[in-house]
Amino acid sequence: MKWDSHYLQENLGDSPCTVYLSKTHKFKYFDANQTKKCDNDFSPPTEQIVMRFQEFVKRLKSWKEGDKRLYMQEPLNEKILKSLQLVNDILTFNWGWARMQQKQNNWGPLTTNLLMISTQGNVTPAHFDNQHNLFAQIYGYKRFILFPPEDYDKLYPHPVWHPHDRQSQVDFDYPDYTKFPKFHDIKGHEALLGPGDVLYLPLYWWHHVESLLQTHFTISLNFWYKAGPNLCLSDSTLYPLEGYQKMAIMRNVEKMLVEALRDVNEVGPLLRTILEGRYN
Ligand SMILES: O=C(O)CCC(=O)C(=O)O
Ligand SMILES: [Fe+2]
């Protein structure tokens, strides 16, 4: 809880960190490696820059409404951790508790983490991740709206080959109900996180996240764990399958078609041929 901006500035100092800039309050994630598949049809919604941490904190402190919004997102690993003090802090985390959760709930190994520092009012639009997440709030407040994997059809994710893979196509501020009629039926779970709170976000659970306005900026740190063995179907799999398992199947079918057809424009027509007059 002592990780305020001053303490982090002292301890992360001149380490380089990744900062996203946005002209709107939305920071919709995209995979830069996937943009070529879109026939130049894709314009990145945010700009990614690298700056020294102390430079970022300076910009954060002088940020005001109307400026480009800032969102620093950088894994805390040996590349950026040069201060013994921060390493010691990390060693004092309640790893025993985290390991117990990992074991009891059959998660795979801890893969990475992300330190997030966001100007107030920033929004990470609805998406899901491929890993389990222990999300710790350190400073300021965040509002999560959560939806289970079963709401896949109501949230209309972009195709798997798209730079916005795993993100909902629905703009929560101005939903297009003609294109996305099932969004009418959606109901989320709300979670308000303050300093000291940890939220468990199961893999494939949808989340929309807002940094609230109580503080000028917010600080969070998450921990991602790989899926456990129950994501693979085996002799011991229990039926009927659960929502997240069906989601994995759908994603794999889609990925296989993209790979086999080598043309993303052929995926839709082929799926329609399988379906129309046969399964619908
Ligand atoms: O806090 C945010 O803005 C996004 C967090 C998120 O999507 C995650 O931890 O998976
Ligand atoms: Fe996420």
Q: Per-block average pLDDT, block size 10, for the chain (280 residues)?
A: 96 96 98 82 95 98 97 95 95 97 97 98 98 98 98 98 98 98 98 98 98 97 95 93 96 98 97 96
Taking a C-beta distance cutoff of 8 angstroms, is the pair 197, 135 a contact?
no
> How far is it, in rounded angstroms, from Cα 16 to Cα 235?
47
* Residue 153: C-alpha distances to residues 147, 158, 246, 257 (Å): 11, 11, 12, 20
Name the β-bridge partners of 116.
Answer: 73, 220
Could you tell me the two tokens for 61? 């402190």
Token pair 């059809």 is at which residue? 153
> How far is it, in rounded angstroms, from Cα 10 to Cα 8?
5
**Biggest alpha carbon–alpha carbon distance for the chain:** 65
User: Which residues make up the environment of ion ligand 2, defined by Cβ < 5 Å?
Assistant: 129
128 CB within 6 A, ligand 1: no
- Backbone φ and ψ for 69, nearest 5 degrees, come out as -75, 155
Q: Can you give the pLDDT at residue 41?
A: 83
pTM (2 d.p.): 0.96
CA–centroid distance, 279 to ligand 2, in Å, is 33
Ligand nearest to the CA of 27: 1
- Backbone φ and ψ for 160, nearest 5 degrees, come out as -65, -25
Q: Can you give the pLDDT at residue 39?
A: 67
> How far is it, in rounded angstroms, from Cα 198 to Cα 134?
6
Residue among 208, 161, 210 nearest 183 (CA): 208
CA–centroid distance, 183 to ligand 2, in Å, is 20
* Residue 255: C-alpha distances to residues 161, 230, 250 (Å): 7, 20, 9
Ligand nearest to the CA of 143: 1
27 CB within 6 A, ligand 1: no
Bond preceding residue 195 cis, omega within 30 of 0? no
